[in-house]
A and B are shown apart, each in its own frame.
Chain A
Amino acid sequence: QKEVEQNSGPLSVPEGAIASLNCTYSDRGSQSFFWYRQYSGKSPELIMFIYSNGDKEDGRFTAQLNKASQYVSLLIRDSQPSDSATYLCAVNPRSGGYQKVTFGIGTKLQVIP
């Protein structure tokens, strides 16, 4: 079982719609969760992080965490063509000690004008 699983996509949504990106993880002890956006040929950039169960909102982005279900998601409201990118879910599987973040393979999002 992969430590962090994402559907590689592509996920296609029309401009203005809500894009929903999902991620599951295997280590129940995971403490921190991150979403990175990566444009083609570029490096990842952090867009959201979440540590507690529930929702966290930042502008058009909402991260949702459910530790009981080992599930984290990212919602993008009012999707724009500029949101077209690969979204990487990252999980820190340990508490304390050395940090060793594990990444999913990423979901490619295409926003259709």
Chain B
Amino acid sequence: DGGITQSPKYLFRKEGQNVTLSCEQNLNHDAMYWYRQDPGQGLRLIYYSQIVNDFQKGDIAEGYSVSREKKESFPLTVTSAQKNPTAFYLCASSIGGTDSPLHFGNGTRLTVT
């Protein structure tokens, strides 16, 4: 079955460490996205990519980095520069274009202490 796989489901890190969240899709979607969700704040866009080797900053890109070397993969690195990294991270993909809905992975819950 086609879908989006995020791993791991739970991730624990010490403050000051970089951490990479994995996102893989086999839906043959062109566009991929990373969102962050905090209680009471809804989903906020971190980065998005419409094609391989191209990506754009979203609303809260500071302290994060991404790469898009393959169509299927869009990993997110949370760097030590991110002030409040503890959150629920959601990866999504879409066919692309203005009318296509987002399909979400199951999310990674990151806790930094």
Contact = CB atoms under 8 A, between A and B. Distances in A.
A80 to B, nearest CB: 23
A32 B101 CA distance: 9
Range class of the A interface residue count: 20 to 34
Interface stretch (A10-18, A61-69, A70-78, A94-102): A94-102
Given A98-B56, A105-B40, A43 B101 contact: no
A74 B42 CA distance: 18
Contact of A99 (B43, B97, B104, B107): B97
B61 interface: no
A106 B41 CA distance: 9
A1 B107 CA distance: 29
Contacts, number: 59
Contacts of B104: 43-45
A111 B90 CA distance: 26
Contacts of B102: 34, 36, 44, 46, 90, 101
Given A44-B104, A98-B50, A32 B98 contact: yes
B90 A99 contact: no
Contacts of A98: 48, 50, 56
B40 A94 contact: no
B72 to A, nearest CB: 19
Given A49-B99, A49-B101, 15 more contacts: A32-B99, A34-B102, A36-B102, A43-B105, A44-B90, A44-B102, A46-B103, A95-B98, A96-B98, A99-B94, A99-B97, A99-B98, A101-B102, A103-B42, A105-B41
Interface of A: 8, 31-32, 34, 36, 42-46, 49, 51, 88, 90, 92, 94-96, 98-106
Closest 9 CB pairs of A and B: A105-B42, A43-B104, A103-B43, A32-B99, A43-B107, A46-B101, A103-B42, A31-B98, A92-B98
14 contacts: A32-B98, A34-B102, A42-B106, A43-B90, A43-B105, A43-B107, A90-B102, A92-B98, A94-B98, A98-B56, A99-B48, A103-B42, A105-B40, A105-B42
